[in-house]
Structure 1
Amino acid sequence: MSASIRMIHFADVHIGMENYGRIDPTTGTSTRVRDFLDRLDEVVDYAIEQQADLAVFAGDAFKDRSPEPTQQREFAQRIKRLADHMPTLLLVGNHDMPGMAVKANSLDIFRALDVPGVIVGYKDDAQVVETRSGPVFLAWMPYPMRNRLMAWTQYQGRSIEELNQGLRSEVSSRLRALAEQAGEHDMPRVLAGHFTVEAASFGSERSVMLGNDLPILKSTVTEKAWDYVAMGHLHKHQDLNEGAYPAVVYSGSLERIDFGEQREEKGFVWVELKREETTWRFVPVAARPFRTLTLDVRQEKDPMAAILAAIKANRFEDAVVRVAITLDSEQSLALREREIEAALEGAA
């Protein structure tokens, strides 16, 4: 029996996201930027320690399409370290992609420099990737932007509904073509994509989404030609083809963006690739916790004392904390926000 090919699948790093952060005086960057880089370090360390054969990053490296040079450097250092040990696909997501088709995306620098071991998925394509444990047929579909997939003459003067239907049809056609190519190769086959598949559950990505989102039919990614479908774009980890084959897995984001993701576990996916026998498991990371303290002090004679006591009774070390307080209008005059902030000093 042939050995499986070990693959690590992660997505939605969003370096540059600074929600709820503070400036670190030693680095000059936001503490939240550090959080996202630390989570990426966890992925890279795990991949190398577990001797992964292949890495698939399913899109959205940065917060937006114009990352700061420091953020680009920090991301590149980690990807270079990963690619020194295994072939690495960098799929272009909507946050990496400029609005104009003629402009470079934020990952194009890897292609321009021809960084060894790095494949930049800037357009739908496929190739056989040689790993130390055997070949893999790897295909990919970056975020589908209308102005990149459809000629101007195709959509000039069309209604929004016609445009959406045209784009969905174009994406489906291209995915079918990739599946047909996959069927010609007797080896494990992986499809990587960065888009929304119908029936998926959203996280908080809609609050930071760039571009118009268009769900793609689930049937286009559940072709039997594939052994695993590695998805990015949605921040909530989920398998859209649970109990069936192939698994269609959103790895989810590596860090929480806001309180809408407070209860979501964050991590990446470890995949054991084998033709028609692929298995996978979710690997959690040490994402910074988000905590909400809800207080009703309307019956309290000393609302501030009650608030401070409630904060002291909870453990908020290193967490991003919000305090939701219900109080009467006359009590609001006694609310001292700076004291509350001081009581939360140990939080992030």
Structure 2
Amino acid sequence: MTEIRFLHIADLHLDSPFKGISSIPQSKWKEIRESTFHAFTNIIEYAVENKPDFVLIVGDIYDGENRSLRAQALFQKGMEALQAKGIPVFICYGNHDHLSGKWVRFLLPDNVQVFGEKVETKTLNIKGEKVHISGFSYKERHVLEGMHSHYPVANGQHIHIGMLHGSVEGNMEHDVYAPFRKNDLIAKGYNYWALGHIHKRQTLHNDPPIVYPGNTQSRHRNEQGLKGFYDVTLTENNATLQFVPSSAFIYDEVEVSCEGIVHANELINLMEQSLNSYREANGNAIVELTLTDISEETSELIQASSKEEWLSLIQESLEMDHTFIIVKELHVNLPNMERKESNMLLEMMEEWETAEWKHVLKDLYRHPKGSRYLPAIDEQFMDETMQEAKEILSKVVTRGE
């Protein structure tokens, strides 16, 4: 087999709306909303510079069935840039950008081949070697049929690649479309399965490779870590996959130990230094910052101001540095304080007399409809309620630790 090289890309979600950015400084909103476009531009620049034999884009190029004019114009320019370098592109549309959507039509350049709603095979010649690429585009958003059954079995004489936007049958982490089982794909005898739809990068099988590259840009806290695509080299007996990051930024979680911190300026400097060190090592990021190892003295310092005020302060400080690292949320681990407060509450409840129980619960017992279903406030009621309170508070404290 002649060595061939291609890019395996999926789930660009161009023009995706971002969720949960209200707590982020407004000055950064534009950069965030543009990030799927920046990731796409990074991919095109990589392809132009490295000149693979061809490019595969396995579904969900656009985030919605009504593809925005701007997203399509950007994609068109990217395809034209690849055409100028003589790089063929094969694309299939997924559940987000299915063929039944309504959009302004663009005529893609001649180097781009698009799969229709039925499984079909397209062939190209690379260095005298025939490469057969099979795939399909979603006719509508919900494709529940196991489309793998329509893919032809490889004849073993040439290179066979399958493009499939779908998920493993029974997957509970994502909507299941075009379901398949791993053995279903192995049985086809292909050299490589280029998958899309699942945004987590993963390899389901090594020989042959059955691969999800993940999406190309993180869009919310559940899509953490590096995002990108694969640069794949196939030879007769081997497949080499090189992951290439494309993200404009990543989502992540950062922990900062506050051991020995007793003054506000120390805490601010510590957070700034930790976050800048993280950015130098990992690049641009939106993070959830968690403060750990908090003594009672440090806890009093932190609780002297609201968490919102601390968050605003660190956001402003980072913005002044003109770096793209954004603290989206601030978490403070106070397990010792939680236990202390829980014990104080239980001790106070144990000292209540019947009259105090009635005073605390008076609004509940005065409810015109609900009160008829409530038990009398007696010794048994107070004992059972105390036991339930202990169990609930114990779970809260344990979770915090």
| Category of TM-score, reference length = shorter chain | 0.7 to 0.9
Does structure 1 retain, via aligned residues, the 8 Å contact 2:214–2:227?
yes
| CA distance, structure 1, for counterparts of residue 46 and residue 324 of structure 2 | 27
Count of aligned pairs: 301
Q: 1:109 — aligned with what?
A: 105
Does structure 2 retain, via aligned residues, the 8 Å contact 1:297–1:306?
no
Q: 2:185 — aligned with what?
A: 221
| CA distance, structure 2, for counterparts of residue 214 and residue 51 of structure 1 | 32
Find the residue that maps to 2:34 and give its secondary structure. Answer: helix
Does structure 2 retain, via aligned residues, the 8 Å contact 1:18–1:33?
yes
Does structure 1 retain, via aligned residues, the 8 Å contact 2:169–2:176?
no
Find the residue that maps to 1:39 and give its secondary structure. Answer: helix
Indicate how the Cα distance of structure 1 residues 259 and 146 shifts in structure 2: closer, same or farther if over 3 A, else same. Answer: closer
Unaligned runs of at least 5 residues, structure 2 = 293-298, 326-401
Residues 86-165 of structure 1: matches in 2 within 5 Å? Answer: 86-97=87-98, 103-104=100-101, 109=105, 113=107, 115-133=109-127, 134-143=129-138
TM-superposed deviation, 1:119: 1.4
The alignment status of 1:271 with 2:232, answered yes or no, reads yes
Q: Which amino acid aligns with 2:317?
A: A
Does structure 1 retain, via aligned residues, the 8 Å contact 2:15–2:71?
yes
Relative to structure 2, which stretch is displaced further, 265-274 or 327-336?
327-336
Q: Which amino acid aligns with 2:151?
A: L
Q: 2:213 — aligned with what?
A: 251
Structure 2 counterpart of 1:238, from 195, 202, 217: 202
Residues 193-204 of structure 1: matches in 2 within 5 Å? Answer: 193-198=164-169
Q: 1:342 — aligned with what?
A: 316
TM-superposed deviation, 1:146: 7.8
Does structure 2 retain, via aligned residues, the 8 Å contact 1:124–1:139?
no
| CA distance, structure 2, for counterparts of residue 120 and residue 49 of structure 1 | 24
TM-superposed deviation, 1:232: 0.8
| CA distance, structure 2, for counterparts of residue 105 and residue 91 of structure 1 | 17
Q: 2:78 — aligned with what?
A: 78
Indicate how the Cα distance of structure 1 residues 199 and 144 shifts in structure 2: closer, same or farther if over 3 A, else same. Answer: farther
What's the % identity of the aligned pairs? Answer: 21
| CA distance, structure 1, for counterparts of residue 240 and residue 259 of structure 2 | 50
Structure 2 counterpart of 1:322, from 288, 312, 332: 288
| CA distance, structure 1, for counterparts of residue 306 and residue 164 of structure 2 | 53
Q: Which amino acid aligns with 1:247?
A: P
The alignment's TM-score, normalised by the length of structure 1, stands at 0.72
Q: 1:13 — aligned with what?
A: 12
Deviation readout 1:63-104 (Å, 9 max, x if unpaired): 222233222211221122224422211110111127xxxx34
Find the residue that maps to 2:151 and give its secondary structure. Answer: helix
Q: 1:162 — aligned with what?
A: none
| CA distance, structure 2, for counterparts of residue 23 and residue 54 of structure 1 | 40
User: Whose helix proportion is higher, 1 or 2?
Assistant: 2
Q: Which amino acid aligns with 1:232?
A: G
Greater RCO between the two (CA within 8 Å, min separation 6)? 1
TM-superposed deviation, 1:272: 2.5
| CA distance, structure 2, for counterparts of residue 255 and residue 283 of structure 1 | 14
